[in-house]
Amino acid sequence: MERTLYQWFADSAARHGERVALEVGGGRHTYAELEALSRRLAAEIAAACVGPPSRVGLYAARSLPAYAGYLAIQRLGATAVPLNPSAPAARNRAVAAAAGLDLVLADAGLQPPVLPAATLAVRLDRLDAPPRAVPDALPAGPDDLAYVLFTSGSTGVPKGVPLRHRSVDAYLSHVVPRYGLGPGCRLSQTFDLTFDLSVFDMFAAWGSGATLVVPAPYDLLKPVAFVAREELTHWFSVPSVVSLAMRLRRLAPGAMPSLRWSLFCGEPLTLPQARAWRLAAPGSVLENLYGPTELTVSCTQYRLPADPARWPETANGTVPIGTPYPRVEHLVVDGEGRPAAEGELLLRGVQRFPGYADPGVNPGRFARFDGAAARDAAAAGEAVAPDLWYRTGDRVAWRDGVLVHLGRLDQQVKISGHRVEPGEVEAALRDQPGVVEAVVLAVRGQDGELCLEAACTGTGLDPVALVKGVAGVLPGYMVPRSVTVLDELPLNTNGKVDRRATAAALGA
């Protein structure tokens, strides 16, 4: 039987009420306590709405109000739309407007920006008082939306990615047993709620009776100490966390003896990163995952052999992304749309999202396979049929029976696991006073990690002011490290911006 996100939690709360569901901010909260808090918040939401809400924004960081609020939204059968308190107010306003929110649930400890929706403040002291009449859990259907997340858009506007309960149910039904999750397991929660990988953190834990352990901000700078202190059994993060630990010389042999599973996703995992982490967690099974937000968190998996001598060697030095999940279909096609051993990865199945929140974004992102070749489908404004393939834009190759990720077919990059469309950053730069043209490049920093650099043309431009201007409208991971003002941007023979020549001009 298919379950909604709330039903995954409620089933565990019924079976494991006295077990600890959440450790955050120095507090420990049982399943029964978290269920009671979510009921009280659901009552506050219901009282603020004329009728049952459809989409509710969640303006909260990784805190008790955030997690109880997420569950309260799900309890009411509404769609959760996380907003990031660390993002500029303009960004959150754009997301709230695009999402069509009924209201915003906000942590009382945070000052939400002025949003195009009613705002309800969450106050934990009010939750200690006699609650309002608590509404019954409103049943959502398998095809109803569980959440909508917004990613970087190449047009300069964030893209809304809606996911159905059916898709998340299929995902959880696969990963919970695969990673041996259940009572006694202790999972990390390293991702912001606006990052789709947080869905694994929360609901793989709460759907199995495990404990979700939330790090304090400084813990993310010392992940090995966090794992050891909290005796975590399951770790999930982007690979750049490993690079940070390597630079700080924290990955001492055997430093994380409690870990049984180590999962990485969001960006390529290199073999050196995997070796360093494995040395520090020798009792941990290490698995590399892949999946765009549009395919519900992750959709392929590769488990590194227990014997490091049997680890694969790949031309680009990355760990393979493996093979698709059982209910995910895949195609690899060449530039003509024909099946090939190397080319673009196309995906479909129960985990595929139903199409972008703005239907105008769908054309060019979906294809129909006629048995010989994949051809573009989904016209502007029409519903995306379930049998259509999602074009990931990722280039992959079959090597020894597994998929290896080879990069992107477009300009999209990953910065600390976040998708970034340089076009959106360029649009923000062009909106700054005096800027005529702009180009944004992803380059390797001295630490080996990708970062953004920008070049622009115009008159009377102050590079520092330009960086600050972009930081006022885009999240931190999308802000260029620096902006270089040029007299003109290098062009190729076709009259287009020559990105290689621009990189050379920047010394990148």
Domain ranges in the chain are 1-164, 327-408, 421-505
| Banded model confidence at residue 121, pLDDT cuts 50, 70, 90 | low
Adjacent-strand bridge partners of 103: 56, 118
| pLDDT over threshold 60, residue 125 | no
| Poorest-pLDDT segment among 265-274, 275-284, 416-425, 475-484 | 416-425
Tell me if domain 1-164 and domain 327-408 are identical in fold: no
Mean pLDDT for 197-216 is 97
DSSP result, 286-314: EEEEE--GGGSS--EEEEPPSSGGG----
| Poorest-pLDDT segment among 122-126, 216-220, 347-351, 367-371 | 122-126
Tell me the two tokens of residue 160: 């809304």
CATH no. of 327-408: 2.30.38.10
What is the structure's pLDDT at 379? 63
3-state secondary structure 309-366: HHCCCCCCCECCCEEECCCEEEEEECCCCCECCEEEEEEEECCCCCCCCCHHHCCCCE
Convert the pLDDT of each residue in 31-86 to its tens digit: 999 999 999 888 888 888 877 889 999 999 999 999 999 999 999 999 999 999 98
Q: List, in order, residues 6 or more apart from 20 with CB less than 8 Å away.
A: 28, 29, 30, 31, 211
Q: What is the rounded average pLDDT for all residues in the chain?
A: 90
Of residues 132 and 111, more confidence is placed in: 111
Q: Do 455 and 505 touch, CB atoms closer than 8 A?
A: yes
Question: Is 3.40.50.12780 the CATH number for 1-164?
Answer: yes
Q: List, in order, residues 6 or more apart from 55 with CB less than 8 Å away.
A: 78, 79, 81, 99, 100, 101, 102, 148
Mean pLDDT for 443-459 is 84
Query: What CATH class has 421-505?
Result: alpha beta
Tell me the two tokens of residue 92: 């959150």
| Banded model confidence at residue 359, pLDDT cuts 50, 70, 90 | confident
Convert the pLDDT of each residue in 242-275 to its tens digit: 988 888 888 999 999 999 999 999 999 999 999 9
Residue 383 burial (CB < 10 Å; 0-12/13-18/19+)? Answer: exposed
| Banded model confidence at residue 293, pLDDT cuts 50, 70, 90 | very high
